[in-house]
Amino acid sequence: MTGPTLMGSRRFPASTRMRLQLVFARASEALAETYQSQAAEFVRRLKSRLSVDEALQRYFHEVGVPAAFEETVRARALIALAGLIESGSQHESRASGWTVLRPDQMLDALRKRVQHIEETNLECRLAGSMSDEAVATTHVRMALETAEVLADDVTPDEAIMHYVRTFNLSSIDAQVIFRSAMAQWAELHPLPGEARATLAQAHVKPSLELRSRTEFGLRVIV
């Protein structure tokens, strides 16, 4: 994914294009903020396994932050991680010198190293998946705003696809975001018949009503 491009917006009226530019500007800012917060969380989650710099590099590799956002995201993430950086990292103090190990010790150290790498890779994938989910949520929210702006010009699916194309989303991300945005649009804008049915269901009284306390009593047989 690269930064937004407004080439496809030229077919809309001038007033609509200005509103789109505002939405896309907010989308870019929201995405940068999402990437930044997720990058900081990624580093915090991996702090026992990777240094801050290593974790940030791994985040950019796992998540695939757009090149247009990399410098901004890195700078903001470092500011958010200032406390962690200033307190020092346990990875900075490494043992120096040579240690002679027996063959069995070398094999044991190798097994532990391989296990550490596998566990670190898993943690990176898990943290990266959380970031992908947060970024997708931001995209869906901004795609819905785009659909609202273009409601008088194109259909919702065309508006959402316009957002997807503007931000050059990959085919997989585009499908996920398009379907999620369409589903949320359908929930927010039900058809007139569906709206009446939902309203009617909300006012339906339960078929079983509790009788008042005065209707209950004991029948005494003399």
**Which residue's entry shows tokens 């010790």?**
105
Whether 187 shows a pLDDT value over 70: the answer reads yes
Q: Kindly state the tokens that stand for 202.
A: 């909300």
Q: What is the pLDDT of residue 195?
A: 54
pLDDT at 95 over 70: no
Decide if 31 contacts 135 (C-beta within 8 A). yes
| Residue 39 near residue 73, CB atoms below 8 Å | yes
**Termini Cα distance of the chain:** 87
Q: What is the pTM of this model?
A: 0.75
More confident of the two residues 115 and 143 = 143
Chain center to CA of 88: 29
Alpha helices in the chain (DSSP H): 14-45, 52-63, 67-80, 82-86, 103-149, 156-166, 171-188, 192-203
- Kindly tell me if the per-residue pLDDT of 94 is higher than 90: no
Task: Decide if 185 contacts 147 (C-beta within 8 A).
Answer: yes
